[in-house]
Structure 1
Amino acid sequence: MPRRLGRRGAAPVARRPLAAAAATGAVVGAATSGGRRGGAGPGGRRYQMRQRMFALGDDFYITDEHGNRAFKIDGKVLRVRSTLKFETPDGQELYKIQEKIARIRDSMTIERPDGSAAAKVHNALITPLRDRWTIDVPGGADMSTKGNIVNHEYRISQGGAVVATVSRKWFRVRDTYGVEIAAGQDDALLLAITVVIDMMAHQGR
């Protein structure tokens, strides 16, 4: 049996049989966007993500399909330390990403608050039509992607099972894409992985 990324804890983080299944992102202080299409699959949730959010330099909330704030991305830190932090809505740090690393390497590490590696994303192959990425998960089964990364139409698999699906078709809001995560996964980590892939895939574009 492949090792799952993690179960949802009691904390108010959206780490539940999460499934980034249908959320809507919003800049802090702004109203949440509409334009949802359909609902998440059984046991999962969708989140709406903003493309290239690492370039915003603002705090950003990732919300679920009901408009509830699930995670906060601290973008202010990016201007000072070139770091993106994934936090609970009340500011508890979950993961962090060093933004500059993506510009100079073909791999990038997502860290826990204590600095230990939670996942390492590698760009394994780039072609005109398809990109292939691998994600090393220390202590767990590794993951891989299949699909069109640049256009945000791909899947992330682990141990032969799809753990997250990324698509722009679920939302009508411009410059956004949806992430649907299977039940029982660590939603924050999978969302951080999609952000890293977005950062690395669009560097220099």
Structure 2
Amino acid sequence: MELYIKQRVFSFRDQFSVTDAQGNQLYEVQGKAFSFGDQLTLTEINGANQIAIKQKLASWMPRYMIEQDNRVIFEVVKKFSFFKTSFDILPSNWTVEGEIFKHHYSLKDGTKELMLVKKEWLTWGDTYHVTIHDEELVLPCLAIMIVLDMVLHNNKKNQHNNMHHNTMHHHHH
């Protein structure tokens, strides 16, 4: 399934719209980035399916719960590492491979690709081209992609706050 995710630039909330190639909206993302943690819901426009993303604040590293039908189906945890950003997606053994910072990565289950995310750099605002291979997994995969995006976005915000360390800004990837 081919999806396009646009981040709306001028909005007070983190707003994403999820459309197909023709621009029909398929999913709606609503939520607030609270000062005490992000909380979003991802809803199918013409269906009852909904997923919630909640940031778990008690933990030291960014940790997000992805809930469906009030059950936590995944927990996405940013792992601490100096050289690259990597994530655990629990309880699955799914892995994120590729360049997360360049927004070009895939989500894999072993060797099987579940989702491919590519950022389109030509567009105004951020547009991601997302391919999800299994219809059943569209919502969980989208939720994981949004979590990764939020974690990176928060990273960037924190880097801006540390602008004095500008000399340290060369990324060694």
Amino acid at match of 2:62: D
SS in 2 for 1:118: strand
TM-score by length of 1: 0.62
The alpha-carbon distance between structure 1 residues 47 and 131, as it changes in their structure 2 partners (threshold 3 A), is: same
The Cα shift of 1:106 comes to 3.1
> What pairs with 1:94-133 in structure 2 (closer than 5 Å)?
94-99=50-55, 101=57, 105-114=61-70, 116-128=71-83, 130-133=84-87
* Aligned residue in 2 for 1:201: 152
Q: Say whether residues 1:69 and 2:43 are aligned partners.
A: no
Q: Could you tell me whether the CA contact under 8 Å between 1:146 and 1:155 is conserved in 2?
A: yes
- Kindly tell me the number of residue pairs found equivalent between the two proteins: 155
Q: Could you tell me whether the CA contact under 8 Å between 1:49 and 1:179 is conserved in 2?
A: no
* Aligned residue in 1 for 2:5: 48
Task: State which of 158, 173, 187 in structure 1 corresponds to 2:109.
Answer: 158
Cα distance in 2 between the residues matched to 1:64 and 1:121: 26
The alpha-carbon distance between structure 1 residues 112 and 182, as it changes in their structure 2 partners (threshold 3 A), is: same
SS in 2 for 1:168: strand
The alpha-carbon distance between structure 1 residues 126 and 165, as it changes in their structure 2 partners (threshold 3 A), is: farther
Q: Say whether residues 1:177 and 2:128 are aligned partners.
A: yes
TM-score by length of 2: 0.72
* Aligned residue in 2 for 1:136: 90
* Aligned residue in 1 for 2:142: 191
Cα distance in 1 between the residues matched to 2:137 and 2:154: 26
SS in 1 for 2:120: coil
- In proportion to residue count, which structure has more strand? 2
Q: After the TM superposition, which parts of structure 1 deviate over 4 Å for at least 4 consecutive aligned residues?
A: 77-82
Amino acid at match of 1:177: Y
**Runs of 5+ consecutive residues of structure 1 not aligned to the other structure:** 1-18, 20-44
Structure with the bigger RCO (C-alpha within 8 Å, sep 6+) is 1
**Runs of 5+ consecutive residues of structure 2 not aligned to the other structure:** 157-173
Q: Say whether residues 1:85 and 2:36 are aligned partners.
A: no
* Aligned residue in 2 for 1:36: none
Per-residue displacement from partner, 1:93-137 (whole Å, max 9, x unpaired)? 5111124649953322111132x1111112235444x43222124
The Cα shift of 1:82 comes to 4.5
Amino acid at match of 2:17: Y
Cα distance in 2 between the residues matched to 1:100 and 1:122: 10
The alpha-carbon distance between structure 1 residues 51 and 155, as it changes in their structure 2 partners (threshold 3 A), is: farther
